[in-house]
Amino acid sequence: MNYLAHLHLADHTHTSPLGNLLGDFVKGPLAGDLSPELRLGIRLHRTIDGFTDNHPEHRAAVASLSPPWRRYGPILIDMLYDHWLSRHWTRFAADPLPAFLARHYRALLTVRPRHPGHLPAGLPLPLRHMAEQGWLESYAEWEGTARALDGIGRRLRRPLPLGEGVRDLSLPHRGEMEQGFLRFYPDLMAFALGEAKRLKREEAG
């Protein structure tokens, strides 16, 4: 999943939003002196990503992409899922999306996380830029999602216009994927809630 979903699931599970976002940046075994809140959020992020990648709806969406985009399918579908989450926000969240994003942006811009092994430079720069530039608002529009993918594509080892992978989708194909997301996301919310409870017990024990 991408940033918006991880923030939403952090709220849904009452776990650390920062920890859930850091799962994309902190790799490998977690140091014992990392704060429990961040440990829990990072571990939850990892299990959410594993559940997502193996869910039949996500796998079907990736498989439905034509070459050469299927190779980058997990990236494309994760971004599209943030798009549909923003479009169907009121189905899954009580707070209006603008207020939700403003709250999390403020928190990210005031936090000063540091760890010599995992976060030697503090908050990862992409998260700071996301909060300063309001990236997540653009995901509500199809072209905004495509532009965000173009930005990701420019950072690949072999840069390419990833946004073309979603611009090329036909309207019927988009509709099928959207319905798949609407079937998938309640499953993910239920999974995340159960995993958060399990991980909290592990961290406490």
Burial (0-12, 13-18, 19+ Cβ within 10 Å), 23: buried
Q: Does pLDDT of 205 surpass 80?
A: no
**Which positions ≥6 away from 30 have C-beta within 8 Å?**
39, 42, 43, 118
Q: How far is CA 99 from CA 66, 94, 95, 102, 189, in A?
A: 37, 10, 7, 5, 21
Per-residue confidence (pLDDT) for residue 34, from 0 to 100 = 84
Q: How confident is the model at residue 118 (pLDDT cuts 50, 70, 90)?
A: confident
Question: Tokens 């992020």 belong to which residue?
Answer: 45
Quick one: pLDDT band at residue 158, thresholds 50, 70, 90? confident
What is the reported pLDDT for 120?
Answer: 77
Give the pLDDT score at 115.
Answer: 81
Residue 157 in tokens? 């080892």
**Average pLDDT across the chain, whole number:** 93
Tell me the average pLDDT across 96-103. 96
C-alpha dist (Å) from residue 48 to 102, 154, 190: 24, 26, 11
Structure-model confidence comparison of residues 70 and 114, the more confident one: 70
**How many whole angstroms separate alpha carbon 139 and alpha carbon 148?**
8
Looking at per-residue pLDDT, the higher value among 117 and 196 belongs to 196
Percent of the chain with pLDDT over 90: 76
Check: CB of residue 9 under 8 Å from CB of residue 1: yes
Gap between the Cα atoms of 129 and 107, Å rounded: 13
pLDDT tens, residue by residue, 31-68? 888 889 999 999 999 999 999 999 999 999 999 999 88
